[in-house]
Amino acid sequence: MPKTSLLRAAASLLALAGLGAASPASGGPAPAELRVIRADLDGDRDPEVVSVRRVSPAGFSQLRVTIDDPRTAGVGRLGPALDRIGRLSVRDFARIGRPQVFMDGSSGASGRFYAAALGRWTGARVRVLWRYDTGHARTPAGTAVGSAVARIAGRQIRLREFLVPPDDPGCCPSFVRTRVSRYDYRPKRGVYVLARRATGPPQRPATR
């Protein structure tokens, strides 16, 4: 990684993650709770409704991706409740003949908590093909996830994490390590599994 600010690079990656979808009508940011996608997710020719709902899991308002099946009245949830929902895509990423739902988002003033998930609707529930969140990520001793971003391209997911000392302030860690993981879709198991992981050496952020 160049010796320009590694933290600036981390912020750029989070920005590229698409936190804040565009509104087709105005071209500007659309309120997340208004995002709705209708698609046949289970092959019964009746479209399901993928949307972002406002919920209050801990007494304060957050957002969550939900799947509603009007035919069966079934409701499923994908991913945790978050302050912000970023990307929300419906596509046959795994090439199984039916679309899956991919989402990501973040929580906290700095967006340090990051989560992403990919799931499919079975007609009765959400079956998760892959999930990640910084709160449950295992990292090398003496590090924690400072920021992360996932990219999905068909049968492959790439996750980039920036590892920092757990007790350092979020604004200015004493070092940053970049860890890149690749997950591949395994048709027999029906999930994405870790195929490769590489962690770079500690690097000191550039000082002004």
Q: Give the chain's mean pLDDT.
A: 84
- Note the pLDDT of residue 18: 36
Average the pLDDT over each of 20-24, 184-188, 199-203 and give the range with the smallest value: 20-24
**Hey, what amino acid is at 100?**
Q
| Pairwise CA distance, residues 54 & 47, whole Å | 22
The CA-based angle 72-77-81, given to 5 degrees, is 150
- Answer yes or no: is pLDDT of 29 > 80: no
Count CB neighbours of 119 within 10 A: 23
Residue 192: exposure state from Cβ atoms within 10 A (0-12, 13-18, ≥19) = buried
Residue 48's φ and ψ, nearest 5 degrees, are -90, 165
Q: In what order do the strands lie in the sheet with 36-39?
A: 36-39, 48-55, 62-69, 74-82
DSSP structure class, residue 136: G
The residue among 52 and 169 whose pLDDT is bigger is: 52
- Note the pLDDT of residue 30: 43
- Answer yes or no: is pLDDT of 33 > 70: no
- Note the pLDDT of residue 5: 41
The CA-based angle 168-194-148, given to 5 degrees, is 30
- Note the pLDDT of residue 19: 34
Q: In what order do the strands lie in the sheet with 100-107?
A: 84-91, 100-107, 113-121, 126-133
Strands 36-39 and 191-199: unpaired
- Note the pLDDT of residue 155: 96
Query: Distance from first CA to last CA of the chain, Å, rounded?
Result: 17
